[in-house]
Structure 1
Amino acid sequence: MTAPRPAPADPGVAERVRDLIARDGWTQRRFATAIGLDETKLSKALAGRRRFAAAELVAIADATGATVNRLLHGRDDARTHTAVPGGSALTDSGTSRGAAARRRILEAAWNLIADHGYHRVRTADVARACSTSPATIHYHFPSRSELLDSALRHNVKLAFDRQVAELGEVTDPHDRLLQLIDLQLPDGELLRREWSIWIQVWAESAIDPARRELYWASYDRWYRSVLMTLSDGADARVFVPGRAEPLARQLTALIDGLGIQVMAGTPGTDPAAMRAVLHDFIDRAVLLRPRQNLPHRTENE
């Protein structure tokens, strides 16, 4: 039995990446370094002789401010297996040199807030991290509160890009739901930083009603992604019918609670244990025919 042939490269994706490189004045070597890709592999992908991997698309989106949705489909709001950010959760990708500077500042602020906490990060710390002046920070982000709001929008974009890149070809709703959960586990530096930002925004929203609208708009994208997957599974008669909305509420709440426990270092918790609990919930409450209730098959069946 021969292995399946890899999917061919999409010339549209290569063209859009070439346009972004030209727009921002990158050399091919600098761009390859910026996205952590061998220059020869980048050259082949730009020529349409190699397909960009999911992780490479995410890195390109992060470096240029574009979304993976735009890279793959030519538009930010193309319908895929994950919900598109809406309202105040939208990020301002921009196309100017000023937008590139803003992205560098935001990346530095996002890392600092995630690692040290919103209330411990000063404008001077952000300026030092990205080798600029406090005045430049204030130009792009007039208040420290705006930095946290922008960090949340950055979280939304990171998750959106990752999900579009990874889930685009996962047609089975059950496999897609499990993969969606894996993409959300606080496992590894990047995901732990995303969770840190979310936890801080939750805490700030609890005491600052002015921040809640942005939080709701941002969280809604994640909730709708889970709901879409559950609805697709119900339509395919893989998941229980008529319960997509309550199951989405239960599953997202369970993910939130377990993630907080992992981030807080609660004894007996880690990403693997979190995954096991979530898989058990899906087996028992989501699947139309739970695995543990399936009849045992003999060797002759």
Structure 2
Amino acid sequence: MPDIHPAAGDTEVAGRVRDLVERGGWTQRRFAEEIALEETKLSKALGGRRRFAATELVAIADRTGVTVNWLLHGRDDARGRTAVPGGAAVTESGDRTSRGALARGRILDAAWELIADRGYHQVRTADVAHAAGTSPAAIHYHFPTRSQLLDEALRHNVKLAFDRQVAGLGEIDDPHERLLLLIDLQLPVGLVLHREWSIWIQVWAESAIDPGRRGLYWDSYDRWFRSVLMTLQDGADAGVFVAGRAEVLAHQLTALIDGLGIQVMAGTPGTGPDDMRELLHDFIDRAVLARPHGAGAEDDPSGTEHG
């Protein structure tokens, strides 16, 4: 993932990160360890002598509880190249520096990992308490019902994807390149993305039998759909993608991503992230990209020869 060029300026971004470090009571060394960054690189970035990479901003946002959008622009809802969460999918904003926020964050992180790895119905409150290093009473205080843990796990998914996309897509002007990266950022590659996909699949299954969960699911999925739609519409406006079909193509492309992702996660023989990427690129080449000017007769969908 490339370094990003924040619209708010490197100085402002560094200042916001410095403020988070100070309010959290971290030393630079400890904070660097928390986000898996060399201390010298963190020091240079905080001093404005180097730019935070996209992956570093995502790690900072995840550890502190803020969004990458806030780090870059000072606002969670700043408009960019990816859709902002709305409705029930909106997560609580703010850093995790207070005692209560830190405890809640640890519980949510533990629950998200356990649900993703073991399955929602196999995770007990006691398991979450043990993993978070707290008591079952503390779990019930922050999350009165076990069902709320799954809801918050889904909201956490939305935040992770939102942060990743804001950090990675911000400076990519070419809509085709941006669409390909948007897909790459959602492929089930690596532990975090596998866990995200696991949570999504479980929420799909629960929503199929529990109408009460569908509102949150719809709002969460809507953010992803709007992000794809925005990219397709930008490409159509620029003449890179076919015109007048952005919404239809967004439905087709997101459905294809869902289906292929489920096959990869299920370990279907002959499937994998690379195969998924190849099939998605093939769909984009055939259905999304505008036909080049001067295409030959063999490329004319009407089959009419021009003499």
Q: Deviations over 1:230-253 (max 9, x none)?
A: 000000000000000000000000
Aligned residue number for residue 163 of structure 1: 165
- For residue 78 of structure 1, what is the aligned residue in structure 2? 78
Q: How does 1:48-127 map to 2 (within 5 A)?
A: 48-95=48-95, 96-127=98-129
Q: 2:85 is paired with a residue of what secondary structure?
A: coil
Q: Which one of the candidate residues 179, 201, 221 is aligned to 1:219?
A: 221
Determine the C-alpha separation between the residues in 2 that align with 1:210 and 1:236. Answer: 41
The question of whether the paired residues in 1 share the 8 Å contact of 2:5 and 2:171 is answered with: no
Q: Compute the displacement of 1:52 (Å).
A: 0.4
Structure 1 residues 195-237: Cα deviation after superposition (integer angstroms, max 9, x where no partner): 0000000000000000000000000000000000000000000
Task: Give CA deviations for 1:68-100 in whole Å, capped at 9, x if unaligned.
Answer: 000011110111100000111011134432112
Partner of 2:232: 230
CA positional deviation for 1:104: 1.0
In structure 2, the partner of 1:244 is 246
Count residues with an aligned counterpart. Answer: 290
Q: CA deviation at 1:7?
A: 6.0
Q: Does 1:11 align with 2:11?
A: yes
Q: Distance in 2 between matches of 1:255 and 1:280?
A: 12
**Distance (whole Å) between structure 1 residues aligned to residue 44 and residue 203 of structure 2:** 41
- How large is the Cα RMSD of the aligned pairs? 1.8
Comparing 19-28 with 83-92, greater Cα deviation is found at 19-28
- Counterpart in the other structure of 2:45: 45
Query: In the alignment, which residue of structure 2 is the partner of 1:145?
Result: 147
Give distance in 1, aligned partners of 2:203 and 2:94.
24
Cα contact 1:284–1:290 (8 A) shared by 2: no
Question: Which residues in structure 2 correspond to 1:130-141 (within 5 Å)?
Answer: 130-141=132-143
Contact 1:24 1:97 (C-alpha < 8 Å) held by counterparts:
no
User: TM-score normalised to the size of structure 1?
Assistant: 0.93
Q: 2:209 aligns with which of 207, 210, 213?
A: 207
The whole-number CA distance in structure 2 between the counterparts of 1:165 and 1:83 is 13
Superposed CA offset, 1:2-49 (max 9, x none): xxxx96970000000011112222221111110001111111100101
Amino acid of the residue matched to residue 105 of structure 1?
I
* Match of residue 176 from structure 1: 178
SS of the aligned residue for 1:184 comes to coil
Superimposed CA distance per residue, residues 144-197 of structure 1 (whole angstroms, 9 cap, x where no aligned partner): 100000000000000000000000111000000000000011111110100000
**Distance change >3 Å, CA 7–CA 131, structure 1 → 2:** closer
- Distance in 1 (alpha carbons) for counterparts of 2:47 and 2:291: 47
Taking the aligned partners of 1:294 and 1:238, their CA distance within structure 2 comes to 18
* Partner Cα distance (2:146, 2:296) in 1: 55
Conserved? CA contact 1:204–1:211, under 8 Å? yes
Change (3 A) 1:7 1:145: closer
Give the unaligned 5+ runs of structure 1.
Answer: 1-5, 296-301
- Structure 1 CA distance for aligned equivalents of residues 190 and 30 of structure 2: 26
Q: 5+ unaligned residues in a row in structure 2: which ranges? A: 298-307
Q: Distance in 1 between matches of 2:285 and 2:75?
A: 36
Alpha carbons 2:54, 2:167 under 8 Å: kept:
yes
SS in 1 for 2:79: coil
Give the drift of 1:270: 0.2
Match of residue 3 from structure 1: none
- Mapped to 2, the partners of 1:52 and 1:109 lie a distance apart of 29
Partner of 1:22: 22
Does the aligned pair in 2 maintain the 1:283–1:290 contact within 8 Å? Answer: no
**Partner SS state of residue 81, structure 1:** coil
Letter in 1 for 2:160: L
Contact 1:113 1:121 in 2 (8 A): yes
